[in-house]
Amino acid sequence: MAACLSAALHPRCAAIHKHNRGTHVARAAQREGEALAPPLPPPPPQVGWLWDKKAADTHKRLQEQKLRPKKSLGQNFMLDDNVLASVVDAAALQPGDLVLEIGPGTGNLTRHLLAAGALVTAVEKDYALSEQLEVEFAGVAEMRLVCGDVLRQDVHALLDGMQRHRLDWLASPAGQAAGALSGTQAAAAAEGSSAAALDQDVQQPAAAAQQQGQDGDSLPQQQQQQQQEQEGAGRRGVAGGEHPARVTVVANLPYYITKDCLNQMLPLGGRISDIYFMLQDEVGVRLTQADPGAADWRVMNLLTQYHSRAQYLFRIDRRKYLPAPKVDGAVVRFELIPPHQRMPVPSEPDFIKLVKKAFSQRRKVVRNALRPMYEPADVLAALEAVGLNPNARAQDLTLDQFGQLAWKLHEQTGGSGSGSNGEEQQQQQQQQQERLEAQQEDNGGSSA
Ligand SMILES: C[S@@+](CC[C@H](N)C(=O)[O-])C[C@H]1O[C@@H](n2cnc3c(N)ncnc32)[C@H](O)[C@@H]1O
């Protein structure tokens, strides 16, 4: 059997990786259809440097550091290592996978991610906690810390930095030994891989690794453009440097930034494969179980469905957090859909604008809510043409129905009703054409 990555990792991680090796190789074998060796038992929590600090001791450690949880930063630390282990287990990380962690806090989740062999980039807004993390993880080649507000990051630059981190790491003794695993990993990676070419930004990294304080408003357009360039990038890489590696986002989120983080990350399918968010239970239920026609069918449901397949994984008792919030938590997985696999629409930015506008005045029927983007008479004609109730409200429509409405309005108005200028429209049509071509290629060249 090929040498294990874990043996070459930071020596203090070795004991934990010895366990993980069994689990990861077993998963790879499972994908190859081989007989499975019985999985190893979970590691005793005290083993190794990573477990010198238990999540349950968070309160004591904060006291020693003369720190208190900050409500303003949504600091509800997870005290139960079993919950954290379940989150990381659900993410089925392979050694060498890239993980973006939002809000590492006291590092409780971070330790589990590192123990799974991930290369972690963690963004923490709290300066005092960042200082502690810097000390704790000093010299750990698998860990990068960014002190800043995740919502103000240029996420593409952040992701580029993560891929460079991996290339640097692969060139290090730890990564070199990991290369010996590539045969097994490649087999595991084959599932879901789109055999993509190396993304240029990985070879020629963008100049800025992070731009704290950057105007957040300018990001979506830039993200969108880069996203188009990244279309087709592989979801999973192998241990070698030829492909961008799979990126997973994992976070125990401050509840109050959940929506903003989803808006920021959901459109990044193609660069990010999955997101595992620990969020408010009620939000998790709503995002994954609400149906059209119900009061809790909101714009975020449509955007979530458009960009991802969301799955409620499990509930978390509020008493497992420090301090305990007023509501329970939950873990939700968002499997991101790459741009060319999303539901086809005439123009993605216009489609999103249309959905948001339709929901902006929930009590109004869609044809009135969409004013002045579209004339009510045009909307009425479009609704009737696609067989929808002319008095439909936004919360009555499914994602598909919004798609049909967008196409019909586009056909009727030639796209002019959306307020786009001609140049934008041309660009959007070209992007749509490229998307269709990519889709046809995915379907083996058939135009069906
Ligand atoms: C719910 S706590 C989770 C801490 C740790 N991951 C855990 O599971 O115990 C949220 C963390 O996110 C950090 N945070 C809050 N807002 C942030 C932001 N905008 N960007 C990055 N980190 C943020 C907080 O300081 C805190 O450490």
Judge contact between 375 and 323, C-beta under 8 A: no
Nearest CA to ligand 1 atom 18: 149
For the Cβ of 231 lying below 6 angstroms from any atom of ligand 1, the answer is no
Strands (E) in 253-365, as ranges, are 274-280, 308-316, 321-322, 329-336
Domain assignment of residue 299, yes or no:
no
Q: Which residues of the chain have pLDDT under 70?
A: 1-51, 178-242, 415-448
Is there a domain that residue 413 lies in?
Answer: yes
Indicate whether 430 belongs to any domain. Answer: yes
275 lies in some domain: no
Cβ of residue 74 lying under 6 Å from some atom of ligand 1:
yes
pLDDT of residue 94: 87
Residues in a beta bridge with 100: 121, 249
Structural domain containing residue 373: 354-440
Q: What is the DSSP letter of 175?
A: H
27, part of any domain = yes
pLDDT at 197: 25
CATH of the domain at 395: 1.10.8.100
Which of 70, 75, 155 is the best mutation target for the ligand 1 pocket, counting ligand atoms within 8 Å of the beta carbon and taking the most? 75
In tens, the pLDDT along 183-224 reads 434 433 333 332 222 222 222 222 223 333 333 333 334 334
pLDDT at 306: 98
* Single-letter code of the amino acid located at 94: Q
- Count: domains in the chain: 2
> Exposed (0-12), middle (13-18) or buried (19+): which is 291, by Cβ within 10 Å?
exposed
Q: Look at residues 305, 272, 263 and name the one whose alpha carbon lies nearest to residue 151.
A: 263
To test the ligand 1 pocket, which listed residue (53, 70, 76, 102) has its Cβ within 8 A of the most ligand atoms? 102
Judge contact between 395 and 293, C-beta under 8 A: yes
Query: Does residue 365 fall inside a structural domain?
Result: yes
Two tokens at 64? 């020693």
pLDDT at 53: 86
Q: Beta strand 119-124 with 98-102: parallel, antiparallel or unpaired?
A: parallel
Residue 423 belongs to some domain of the structure: yes
Tokens for 337? 């859909």
Diameter of the chain measured on Cα atoms: 69
ipTM over 0.90: yes
Alpha carbon of 129 to ligand 1 centroid (Å):
10
Task: Note whether residue 273 is domain-resident.
Answer: no
142 within 8 A of 9, measured Cβ to Cβ? yes
Position 178 scores a pLDDT of 65
